[in-house]
Amino acid sequence: MHRRIIAPGALAAASVLLAIPASAASYTPGAPGIGDPYYPYYGNGGYDVSHYDLRLQYQPKTDELQGTATILAKTTQDLSRFDLDFLLDVSEVRVNGTKAAFTTSGEHELVVTPKTPLAKGTPVTIVVRYSGVPSAKSAYGFTSWHRTPDGGVAANEPEAAWWWFPSNDHPTDKATYDVSVSVPDGTQAISNGTLQSTSSKLGWTRYNWRQNKPQATYLATLALGRFDITTGTSDGGVPVINAYSKDLGDNEGAARASVERTGELVDWLSGYFGPYPFSSVGGYVPNTTTSYALETQTRVFYSPRQFANGANTSLVVHELAHQWYGDYVSVKGWKDIWVNEGFARYAQWLWSEHEGEGTAQELADYVYASHPADDAFWTIAPGDPGPDNQFAGAVYDRGALAIQALRNEIGDDAFFAVLKGWPKEHAYGNASVADFQRYAERVSGKPLAALFDTWLFQPEKPAAPSARALVKTTAAVAQPKSWKKIEATNSVHEH
Ligand SMILES: [Zn+2]
């Protein structure tokens, strides 16, 4: 995991005094962060984005990206100044058609001062012209841009946007997207949603992608390189668009044998989570040397290395489960990561059961028995793991144990009603661990505070007597057949 060091100077730099007329005294700068305690500088205050229109050009030989972002937003306070999160070099910013002053601050803040202060509750159009070499940029010592032999890829969590478009970078500010990218003929551009059209001119091909449902910034992805694109439709009627680098080497067969199952698996998951909420689905496998996957909305990012030991449908199930648990309903704050990862892992347990490779209960028994009481595994609280442990194994495995405990506590009927009802309850929005507990209590009619506290928040192994219906046996348990494929997903997000 990347470690973040918040520069103490960042706040001071953001509080430079502005010459605002006395009559405009109520106009104040938007905060440099949206208020997430894990990442104080992620996102920004003072406005809410509804749409990103990105018109870009990319040269794979040099990794040069240039273009224009048009951002439609609405102010949420009387605003004298506001921040965007971005790393590339900006040449011009316009606010409502007029050139605005701008500067950079901290690790990733672009500070914009419009010529005229913006009144609360008004629409604002922000145009940012920019260029740069994304692979040359880093923040807090890491990068989310993966250079490949034939191009580059933006995919990471909790942030990837800084390397390719200016944004309000936090899951609570979702927006729709048009991503239009021009690349040299022979190179393809892959992004989220549906491919609306392509056009060629003077040796360049433009790809026009549209995400017509709200999408968190970290779930926006861009891949540029030589891809083979496949299309189809699932039995359930969901259009499928997959893409494979033309240079996957020995991993190509296993990658295709996994990702080509996407349509079938998304239909299977719909049986548990309700109708698929987006206009298309798919995955892409660039020729990157990274080792994780990411649930980028409608178009999952996979690393070829994850298929080095053969096909892994369990991994595909994990990332597709996130389309409901993570994408359709996203975290309110990054501390709520269990609502994403616990359920994506639990979906793998359900798939294991379906495939006859170990039931969810057997997997729960195995996890419980595998970690002795003095194992550091139990010191991590999936319900609030802290930024350094956000993607620790315990968030996944202990997180899924908590879900099996819930299932045993409220019974299968209520449990599967919760599993299916929750995504719709917060459709295209955000929700927290506490919201989930309240929802499960409402659907089941049972108080669940003690169960959630035991399994998600206490920094110790729940003792067998108080393990509240989870564990069927405390004896040593045989490893379920699906275990290794499930654990292979643990490289997800860890890098
Ligand atoms: Zn995941």
In this predicted model, what pLDDT tens digit does every residue of 249-259 receive, in sequence order? Answer: 999 999 999 99
Residues 142 and 149: their CA atoms lie apart, in Å, by: 20
Distance (angstroms) between ligand 1 centre and the Cα of 94 equals: 37
Distance (angstroms) between ligand 1 centre and the Cα of 389 equals: 14
Is 443 inside any structural domain? Answer: yes
Domains held by the chain: number: 2
Residues 377 and 356: their CA atoms lie apart, in Å, by: 28
* E strand spans, 64-144: 64-75, 79-85, 89-95, 98-99, 101-105, 109-113, 123-132
Look over the chain and give the mean of its residue pLDDT values, rounded to a whole number: 92
Distance (angstroms) between ligand 1 centre and the Cα of 391 equals: 8
Distance (angstroms) between ligand 1 centre and the Cα of 295 equals: 7
**What is the predicted pLDDT for the residue at 477?**
82
Three-state DSSP class for 28?
Answer: strand
**What is the predicted pLDDT for the residue at 25?**
67
Domain end (from 148, 183, 218):
183
**In this predicted model, which residue has the larger pLDDT, 234 or 478?**
234
Distance (angstroms) between ligand 1 centre and the Cα of 243 equals: 20
Distance (angstroms) between ligand 1 centre and the Cα of 320 equals: 9
User: What six digits make up the tokens of 189?
Assistant: 């551009």
82-107: pLDDT as tens digits: 999 999 999 999 999 999 999 999 99
Distance (angstroms) between ligand 1 centre and the Cα of 146 equals: 19
Is 169 inside any structural domain? Answer: yes
Indicate whether 472 pLDDT > 80: no
User: What six digits make up the tokens of 205?
Assistant: 């091909």
**What is the predicted pLDDT for the residue at 471?**
65
Is 13 inside any structural domain? Answer: yes
Average pLDDT for 344-367: 96
Q: In which band, very low, low, confident or very high, does the pLDDT at 22 lie, cut at 50, 70 and 90?
A: very low
Q: Percentage of residues in the chain with pLDDT exceeding 90?
A: 88
Q: In which band, very low, low, confident or very high, does the pLDDT at 121 lie, cut at 50, 70 and 90?
A: very high
164-195: pLDDT as tens digits: 999 999 999 999 999 999 999 999 999 999 99
**What is the predicted pLDDT for the residue at 487?**
87
**What is the predicted pLDDT for the residue at 475?**
67
Distance (angstroms) between ligand 1 centre and the Cα of 337 equals: 9
Distance (angstroms) between ligand 1 centre and the Cα of 113 equals: 38
Distance (angstroms) between ligand 1 centre and the Cα of 487 equals: 12
**What is the predicted pLDDT for the residue at 491?**
57
Q: Look up the CATH number of the domain holding residue 346.
A: 1.10.390.10
Three-state DSSP class for 458?
Answer: coil
Distance (angstroms) between ligand 1 centre and the Cα of 219 equals: 12
Q: In which band, very low, low, confident or very high, does the pLDDT at 488 lie, cut at 50, 70 and 90?
A: confident
Distance (angstroms) between ligand 1 centre and the Cα of 490 equals: 8
Distance (angstroms) between ligand 1 centre and the Cα of 393 equals: 11
404-429: pLDDT as tens digits: 999 999 999 999 999 999 999 999 99
Is 442 inside any structural domain? Answer: yes
Specify whether the CB–CB gap between 82 and 96 falls below 8 A.
no
User: What six digits make up the tokens of 145?
Assistant: 């841009």
**What is the predicted pLDDT for the residue at 15?**
41
Bridge-partner residues for 199, per DSSP?
A: 206
**What is the predicted pLDDT for the residue at 23?**
53
Is 97 inside any structural domain? Answer: yes
Q: Going by DSSP bridges, is the β-strand pair 175-184/89-95 parallel, antiparallel, or unpaired?
A: unpaired
Average pLDDT for 441-452: 97
Q: In which band, very low, low, confident or very high, does the pLDDT at 469 lie, cut at 50, 70 and 90?
A: low
**What is the predicted pLDDT for the residue at 476?**
72
CB contact burial 328-360 (16+ within 10 A = b; e otherwise)? bbbbbbbbbbbbbbbbbbbbbbbbbbeeebbbb
Distance (angstroms) between ligand 1 centre and the Cα of 226 equals: 27
Is 8 inside any structural domain? Answer: yes
Is 388 inside any structural domain? Answer: yes
Specify whether the CB–CB gap between 75 and 120 falls below 8 A.
yes
Distance (angstroms) between ligand 1 centre and the Cα of 293 equals: 8
Distance (angstroms) between ligand 1 centre and the Cα of 205 equals: 33
Is 174 inside any structural domain? Answer: yes
Q: What angle do CA 241, 132, 199 make, to 5 degrees?
A: 40
Q: Give residue 32's domain range.
A: 1-140+164-183
- How far are the Cα atoms of 13, 107, 145, 348, 391 from residue 140, in angstroms, in the given order? 17, 7, 14, 33, 18
Q: Look up the CATH number of the domain holding residue 91.
A: 2.60.40.1730
